[in-house]
C-alpha cells in the first residue's frame, strides 16, 4: 500500500490495492467481538439514551418494554452500501431492566444500493422461550418472520393485533441518512466476549 503523490495537484492519491487494504482493515476492526475497558459503559450509556428517546417519542413502547421477557437495544447501527453493503452495531441485552450481555449485529447485502444511514433498533422478546433461544444461539439471525412494530403517520408505535402474539417484535427508529427502508432481515447477532 504505497500512496503516490500527483505531480500537478500535489494531492495524495491511494492506489486501488491501498484502498482495498484500508477497507479490509476497517471491516476487520469492526468485527472485533471483544469489549475494551470503556466499551461496556459506552454501550450502556447509548442504550439508556436510545430507550429514553424511544419511550418519549413512542409512548406505546413503554407497554412493550414492561411486558417483554427481555429486550435487545441496538442504539447505533451504521449501514453503507455501494453495490455491496453492510451494517454493524453493538448493543445491550437487558432482562428486568439490567444488562446481562452485550451483542454485535452485522448484516451484509448485495444489489442495487448506494448510500449510508444510521439507525437504532430494539428487539422485544415477548416470551421466556424466545429469549432463551436467542441467548443459547451461537449466532441468532433475524428472519422474515420477525414482526415489526411500526408508527403510522405520527401515531405512537405499539403492538397491533398482528404483532401482539409474536414471540419477537422489532422497532427501527431514529433513521438518518441516504439509504431508505432499513430492515433487520439477515442481521446476525452474536454475543460480545467481555
Residues of the chain with pLDDT under 70: 1-38, 82-84, 109-114, 145, 150-165, 177-182, 194
Backbone angles phi, psi at 45, to 5 degrees: -65, -40
Where b means 16+ CB within 10 Å and e means fewer, 134-153 reads: bbeeeebebeeebbbbeeee
Tell me: do 99 and 117 sit in the same domain.
yes
Q: Which one, of 171, 189, 175, 184, lies nearest residue 68 by Cα?
A: 171
Tell me: do 11 and 89 sit in the same domain.
no
Tell me: do 23 and 94 sit in the same domain.
no
Confidence at residue 9, expressed as pLDDT on a 0 to 100 scale: 41
Confidence at residue 150, expressed as pLDDT on a 0 to 100 scale: 57
Tell me: do 115 and 146 sit in the same domain.
yes
Backbone angles phi, psi at 176, to 5 degrees: -145, 130
Which domain, by its residues, includes 23?
Answer: 1-30
**What is d(CA 82, CA 76) in angstroms, rounded to the nearest whole number?**
20
Tell me: do 26 and 42 sit in the same domain.
no
Confidence at residue 181, expressed as pLDDT on a 0 to 100 scale: 59
Tell me: do 142 and 75 sit in the same domain.
yes
Q: What is the pTM of this model?
A: 0.73
28-83 pLDDT, tens per residue?
344 444 555 568 999 999 999 999 999 998 888 899 999 999 999 999 998 887 66
Give the count of domains, the chain: 2
Amino acid at each position: 500500500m504505497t500512496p503516490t503523490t500527483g505531480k500537478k495537484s500535489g494531492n495524495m492519491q491511494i492506489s486501488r490495492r491501498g484502498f482495498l487494504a484500508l477497507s479490509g482493515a476497517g471491516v476487520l476492526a469492526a468485527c472485533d467481538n471483544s469489549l475494551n475497558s470503556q466499551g461496556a459503559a459506552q454501550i450502556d450509556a447509548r442504550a439508556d439514551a436510545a430507550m429514553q428517546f424511544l419511550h418519549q417519542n413512542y409512548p406505546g413502547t413503554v407497554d412493550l418494554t414492561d411486558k417483554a421477557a427481555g429486550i435487545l437495544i441496538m442504539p447505533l447501527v451504521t449501514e453503507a452500501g455501494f453495490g455491496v453493503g453492510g451494517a454493524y452495531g453493538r448493543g445491550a441485552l437487558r432482562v428486568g431492566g439490567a444488562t446481562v450481555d452485550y451483542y454485535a449485529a452485522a448484516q451484509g447485502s448485495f444489489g442495487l444500493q448506494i448510500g449510508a444511514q444510521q439507525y437504532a433498533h430494539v428487539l422485544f422478546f415477548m416470551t421466556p422461550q424466545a429469549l432463551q433461544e436467542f441467548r443459547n444461539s451461537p449466532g441468532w439471525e433475524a428472519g422474515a418472520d420477525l414482526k415489526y412494530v411500526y408508527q403510522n403517520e405520527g401515531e405512537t408505535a405499539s403492538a397491533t393485533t398482528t404483532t401482539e402474539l409474536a414471540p419477537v417484535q422489532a422497532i427501527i427508529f431514529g433513521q438518518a441518512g441516504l439509504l431508505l427502508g432499513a430492515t433487520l432481515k439477515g442481521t446476525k447477532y452474536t454475543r460480545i466476549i467481555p
